[in-house]
Amino acid sequence: MSENCCAHAASAKVHDTAHAASNHAASNPETSGPTRWPDGQLLGLSGVGVAVRGKQILSGVGLSLYAGQIVTIVGPNGGGKTSLLRAVIGDLPLTSGIITRRPGLRIGYVPQKLAIDQTMPLTVSRFLAMSGASSRDTRLAMLERVGAGALAGRQMAALSGGELQRALLARALLRAPHLLLLDEPTQGLDQEGTVGFYRLLETLRREEGVGVLMVSHELHVVMAQSDHVLCLNGHVCCAGEPEAVAVHPEYRRLFGRGDDEVLAVYQHHHDHSHG
Pairing relationship of beta strands 228-232 and 70-74 according to DSSP bridges: parallel
Among 70-78, 83-91, 229-237, 259-267, the segment contacting another protein (CB under 8 A): 83-91
Local structure of 55: helix, strand or coil: strand
**Which of 214, 250, 211 has its CA nearest to residue 85?**
214
How far apart, in whole angstroms, are the C-alpha atoms of residue 20 and residue 33? 12
List alpha helices for 37-123, DSSP H.
81-89
Q: What share of the chain is helix, strand, coil (3-state, %, to 5)?
A: 45, 25, 35
Give the other-Cβ count within 10 Å of 135's Cβ: 9
Stretch that binds another protein, among 34-42, 121-129, 216-224, 238-246 (CB under 8 A): 121-129
Among 89, 94, 224, 247, interactor with another protein by CB under 8 A: 89
As a whole number of angstroms, the distance between CA 49 and CA 86 comes to 12
The answer to whether 217 touches 184, Cβ cutoff 8 Å, is yes
Q: Which of 40, 68, 111, 185 touches another protein by CB under 8 A? A: 111
Pick from 32, 119, 191, 273: which binds another protein (CB under 8 A)? 119
Residue type, 109: Y
* Minimum distance from residue 182 beta carbon to another protein (Å): 11
- Of 34, 117, 137, 256, the one binding another protein (CB under 8 A) is 117
107 vs 244 by CB, closer to another protein = 107
Residues in contact with another protein, counted by CB under 8 A, come to a total of: 24
Amino acid at 44: G
- Contact positions with another protein (CB under 8 A) in 164-193: 175, 181
One of 122, 141, 200, 265 touching another protein (CB under 8 A) = 122
Least separation in angstroms between CB 176 and another protein: 12
From the list 45, 39, 8, the residue with the least C-alpha distance to 26 is 39
Choice from 3, 16, 91, 202 touching another protein (CB under 8 A):
91
- Choose, by CB under 8 A, the member of 26, 52, 98, 130 that binds another protein: 130
Residues that bind another protein (CB under 8 A): 86, 89-91, 107-109, 111, 114, 116-117, 119-123, 126-127, 130-132, 155, 175, 181
